[in-house]
Structure 1
Amino acid sequence: MKNKEFILLMILAAFLSATESYALDIEFSGSRHTVIKDKPEASTGLNDVFTIYDIKEVSFISIGNIIAPSDFRVLIYSNLGGGYAIEQPVSITGTTAFIHNPKGDMGYIVEDGGNRYCFWVVDYAGKHFDISSIEAYPEQDCDMTKITVIGSGDQIRYYSVSGRQCTLSRNIELSYNTLEWDNENNCYSLVEKTDGFEYLQTPLTLRPPFYCNTTVTVSGDRFLKTWGLGKTLESSIIEANGIDVNTEAVQTNLAPDDASNMIKSDGTMLGGSAPADFTFYAYVTDAVLHNEWQIADDPEFEYVRYRFNERDLTYTFDQEGKFYVRFIGSNADGSCEATGETYEIGIGASDLRIPNVFSPDGDGVNDTWKVGYRSLVEFKCWIFDRNGHQLFYFDRPELGWDGKHHGKTVSPGVYYYVIEAKGADGKKYKKGGDINILRYRKIGNSSGASGE
């Protein structure tokens, strides 16, 4: 045992120290199909792996360009490794050696003077790839799609010089459609994908999972394709099991003075002044059947205030404070779900500021009497003349009075307002006061105030 292990180590050391320029011309006589050559990892101790359609067709292996015919021999080994290699009879003519009636699924160690060349021969006969059916695996996980392919296509094994098992990839291809998020167009787009597998497993797993219903096409393997004998089969529709969501939030009544505070550096949103009208949009993949927008008082959503079973949500924030909004999509039985971005909505405290002078002369400056406000959810304003006659009324704080009554601009002088309002913070306002109307007109090349 120890002697064979020592021999094995000597073989590996000699091979790894051999010059890269040493090469032999290996040919398989009698094979009706192309011999497929693969270059294995250097750690295997093998120079090449040859795959033969059927070793029974090969009458001999010829090894050309040998350097030392008088000091040449071939050893053959199985899955036990080169330490158990036995010498194989060869015949030599000139600089070409012949191995008659070669064996498949075996390793060959060629010793040519001080040089060594090692290769493995795979006999594909009995390892043919075939497919009879493709279907979804009965049990699915949320983060992958599992596919069952009924057929033949087990591992193709070969063994390194040290006896380590290695796998020769069949490169079986599985093609399907799925959805991918398109940031530029803000939607999910249909894409075609192809995944490769070394051999048929039960089940074949695909990540990410299927995001849309799709057929699955399995084709292969690469050996049969090279020989013009490839197999292809398409499944019936396989239902999507993957859950994915993307969301968007838009404030529809954003005031210009709120714009600088609207978007935070991390992408969350601020509402600014109440009432803040938002529309929240959810974009989901095909397996999402349950939709829920949540509004909570805390970012962990331990205290959810409202739940809405809608894909898109329009909501008005009319209370002071911070609110957190997110979307959750789930499949039919709720076993898989995906959560969208969390939006932080901040509604500031209320404020009301009332001017006492304006000049409705049409010069584009201070032509309208308007209040300054923030987070008012209720508002009423009446305008009176000095005799108590109502001249104007409005109930939206963003509006104002243009100084007209029945379509005509009133005379300069003192007028009066009464305002009743309520803030998002619950604060109530009841104010009254005077409004001074100034009239300006041009005098020569300068402007001066002049009462009429």
Structure 2
Amino acid sequence: MKNKEFIFLMILAAFLSATESYALDIEFSGSRHTVIKDKPEASTGLNDVFTIYDIKEVSFISIGNIIAPSDFRVLIYSNLGGGYAIEQPVSITGTTAFIHNPKGDMGYIVEDGDNRYCFWVVDYAGKHFDISSIEAYPEQDCDMTKITVIGSGDQIRYYSVSGRQCTLSRNIELSYNTLEWDNENNSYSLVEKTAGFEYLQTPLTLRPPFYCNTTVTVSGDRFLKTWGLGKTLESSIIEANGIDVNTEAVQTNLAPDDASNMIKSDGTMLGGSAPADFTFYAYVTDAVLHNEWQIADDPEFEYVRYRFNERDLTYTFDQEGKFYVRFIGSNADGSCEATGETYEIGIGASDLRIPNVFSPDGDGVNDTWKVGYRSLVEFKCWIFDRNGHQLFYFDRPELGWDGKHHGKTVSPGVYYYVIEAKGADGKKYKKGGDINILRYRKIGNSSGASGE
């Protein structure tokens, strides 16, 4: 065939999306196993890719439903592409053409009058998939797990009409267990994962990495499975190499209904009024062996104030200022680490405001004498009558006096308080003054906390 004809053929092959009304019936005579057909990308110029268990079993390829027997020919090409195709002898009976002693791992270009049809034949013989062992790759990275599979399963190649190399996927499956974060249950859950690979390569790479110890099962390939000859092998335990952490911060002494606490979190940070008690929880994957909570004065953690080697941390913030807290988990040798969320804790300056009147009449309004406060870390309050007798004492600013002494509501009149307190900012308070109990309608006595 002349060079111009080669070029013309290659150009035609690029436009081989034949009309739907044109369809050839391709059969492989003598094959003892199912012929597997794949649809390649249109850019390959191929209509189909056929995989044959062993081309030696095939005595001929029959091409049925040809339209122009008198203007029909078949050309075959190798990895060089259709530009180097050579004509293949065929015999024609009626509307069926026959290619005797066909070759595998070759492309076929069928010219049927003005119609074109191209296909590639993969000879699976010599490309069999097999597995002999599965183990962890000697060198691991923090963000992936690498697996070595010893066996056979190289890339299955075919070539487009233009000579471009393409890969026919074996669909090798690798199954394993790992951990996934469950937001709803606030914990890691064991899940089974399956990854697919086009062919065996060293190593096989999995992202994200293994977060728990697991066996690995490799099965395939899709061709052997179709023929009922699939291979499966399970490994021994492979240790987790991935590091992952999730964290939670809980303010344990937060009282949202306490109106006397004059500072609350605005939603952008935690904390508010000192003392602010927190429990920080860390949830980690299996390979985390070293735990560290850090408290710093800056969000970049260049100046870490405290370090705690604990999984869960309980801490009280009793100083004014802004603090940053985070958790870092690392593996045995410290080569991999993961950092949890950064929590911003804000503690306001101290303040103390003292009311001088209340009415303990049980109507639900102003029934308890309570101070307004912010960031008090020490607090003591004594209540006296006009004769200097102590009626009540409490040492937590969120508490208060319900106007009772020994379980009975005292009479309306003037009483006195003495308060000693200290703020998170170091400010000291010594206060004293009168409390006026207004006349009230007596509803009835009820027991309540009081004491001397």
TM-score, with length taken from structure 2: 0.92
Say whether the 8 Å CA contact 1:263–1:269 is kept in structure 2: no
Partner SS, residue 7 of structure 1:
helix
Query: Would the aligned equivalents of 1:258 and 1:273 in 2 still touch at CA under 8 Å?
Result: no
Quote how far apart the aligned CAs of 1:127 are.
Answer: 0.4
Deviates more, 1:432-441 or 1:176-185: 432-441
Could you list the per-position Cα deviations for residues 164-219 of structure 1 after superposition, in whole angstroms to 9, with x for gaps in the alignment?
11111000000111111111111111111111100000000011111111111000
- Using a 3 Å threshold, how does the CA distance of structure 1 residues 78 and 182 change in structure 2: closer, same or farther? same
Residue matched to 2:83? 83
Contact 2:376-2:423 within 8 A present in 1 as well? yes
The answer on whether the counterparts of 1:262 and 1:270 sit within 8 Å (CA) in structure 2 is no
CA distance in 2, matches of 1:445, 1:228: 87
Q: Distance in 2 between matches of 1:250 and 1:110?
A: 72
Check the 8 A contact 1:268/1:343 in 2, yes or no: no
- Which region of structure 1 is more displaced relative to structure 2, 380-389 or 114-123? 380-389
**Cα distance in 1 for residues equivalent to 2:152 and 2:27:** 29
Contact conserved, 1:441 with 1:449, CA < 8 A, in 2?
Answer: no
Does the 8 Å CA contact 2:10/2:162 hold for their aligned counterparts? Answer: no
Describe the shift of the 1:330–1:260 C-alpha distance in structure 2 as closer, same or farther (beyond 3 A). farther
Between the aligned partners of 1:269 and 1:153, the Cα distance in structure 2 is 55
**1: CA distance between counterparts of 2:35 and 2:446?**
101
Q: Which moved more, 1:253-262 or 1:80-89?
A: 253-262
**Partners of 1:451 and 1:63 in 2: CA distance:** 105
CA separation in 2, counterparts of 1:314 and 1:96?
83
Q: CA deviation at 1:43?
A: 1.1
Query: Matched residues in 2 for 1:147 and 1:447: separation?
Result: 71
Following the alignment from structure 2 to structure 1, what is the Cα–Cα distance between the partners of residues 357 and 177?
67
Q: Cα–Cα, structure 1 residues 445 and 382, in superposed 2: closer, same or farther, change >3 Å?
A: closer
1:385 CA drift (Å): 2.7
Seen in structure 2, the aligned counterparts of structure 1 residues 263 and 228 have a Cα distance that, compared at 3 Å, is: farther
Q: How far apart, CA to CA, are the structure 2 residues paired with 1:282 and 1:193?
A: 25
Say if 1:443 and 1:333 are closer, same or farther in 2 by CA, change over 3 A.
closer
Q: Secondary structure at the match of 2:258?
A: helix
CA-to-aligned-CA distance 1:205-242 (integer Å, 9 cap, x gap): 01111111111100000000000000000001111111
CA distance in 1, matches of 2:265, 2:370: 33
Aligned to 2:133, the other structure's residue is in SS state strand
Give the secondary structure class of the aligned counterpart of 1:205. strand
Partner of residue 176, structure 2: 176
Change (3 A) 1:409 1:257: closer
Which whole-Å CA distance do the structure 2 matches of 1:241 and 1:444 have between them? 69
In structure 2, stretches of 5+ residues that fail to align are none
Decide whether the 8 Å contact of 2:177 with 2:214 is kept in 1.
yes
Structure 1 window deviating more from structure 2 (243-252 vs 433-442): it is: 433-442
Q: Structure 1 residue 398: deviation in Å? A: 1.7
SS at match of 1:149: strand
Query: Could you say if the C-alpha distance between residues 340 and 265 of structure 1 is closer, same or farther in structure 2, counting changes exceeding 3 Å?
Result: farther
For the Cα contact (< 8 Å) 1:360–1:402, is it kept in 2? yes
SS at match of 2:166: strand
The structure 1 segments of at least 4 consecutive aligned residues displaced by more than 4 Å after TM superposition are 8-11, 257-268, 442-452
TM-score between both structures, scaled by the size of structure 1: 0.92
| Cα 1:62/1:5, change in 2 over 3 Å | closer
Contact (CA 8 Å) 2:413, 2:436: kept in 1 or not?
Answer: yes
Change (3 A) 1:76 1:260: farther
TM-aligned CA deviation for residue 394 of structure 1:
1.8
- Change in Cα spacing, 1:364 to 1:160, as seen in structure 2 (3 Å) is closer
SS of aligned partner of 1:23? coil
Cα distance 1:153–1:259, how it changes in 2: closer, same or farther (>3 A)? farther
8 Å contact from structure 1 (residues 14, 116) kept in 2? no
State the Cα deviation string for residues 71-111 of structure 1 (Å, max 9, x = none).
Answer: 21111111111111111111111111111111111111111
1:132-171, CA deviations, whole angstroms, 9 ceiling, x for partnerless residues? 0000101111111100000000001111111111111000
Contact in 1 for aligned 2:134/2:234 (Cα 8 Å): yes
Task: Check whether the contact 2:66–2:95 (CA below 8 A) recurs between aligned residues.
Answer: yes
**How many angstroms does 1:19 deviate by?**
2.8
Give the distance between the partners of 1:58 and 1:428, measured in 2 at CA: 99
Please tell me whether the aligned partners of residues 12 and 45 of structure 1 are also in contact (alpha carbons under 8 angstroms).
no
Q: Deviation at 1:377? A: 0.3
**Cα separation, partners in 2 of 1:96 and 1:9, compared to 1, 3 Å:** closer
Q: Indicate the percent of aligned positions where both proteins have the same amino acid.
A: 99
**323 and 8 in structure 1: CA distance in 2 versus 1, 3 angstrom threshold:** farther
Relative to structure 1, the CA distance from residue 126 to residue 446 in structure 2 (aligned partners, 3 Å threshold; closer, same or farther) is: closer
Match of 2:329 in 1: 329
Structure 1 residue 14, shift from structure 2 partner: 7.0
Match of 1:164 in 2: 164
SS, match of residue 87 in structure 2 = strand
Alpha-carbon RMSD: 4.1
CA distance in 2, matches of 1:202, 1:163: 27
Q: Given that residues 92 and 98 in structure 1 are in contact (C-alpha distance below 8 angstroms), is that contact kept between their aligned partners in structure 2?
A: yes
1:441·1:447 contact (CA, 8 Å) conserved in 2?
A: no
Q: Cα offset for 1:126?
A: 0.5
Residue 395 and residue 177 in structure 1: after superposition, are their counterparts in 2 closer, same or farther (change >3 A)? same
Change (3 A) 1:231 1:266: farther
Where 1:4 maps in the other structure, the secondary structure is: helix
CA distance in 2, matches of 1:313, 1:10: 71
Q: Shift in Å at residue 11 of structure 1?
A: 4.5
Partners of 2:407 and 2:446 within 8 A in 1 = no
Contact 1:384–1:390, Cα closer than 8 Å, also in 2: yes
Distance in 1 (alpha carbons) for counterparts of 2:303 and 2:183: 32
Aligned length: 452
Query: Bigger shift: 424-433 or 387-396?
Result: 387-396
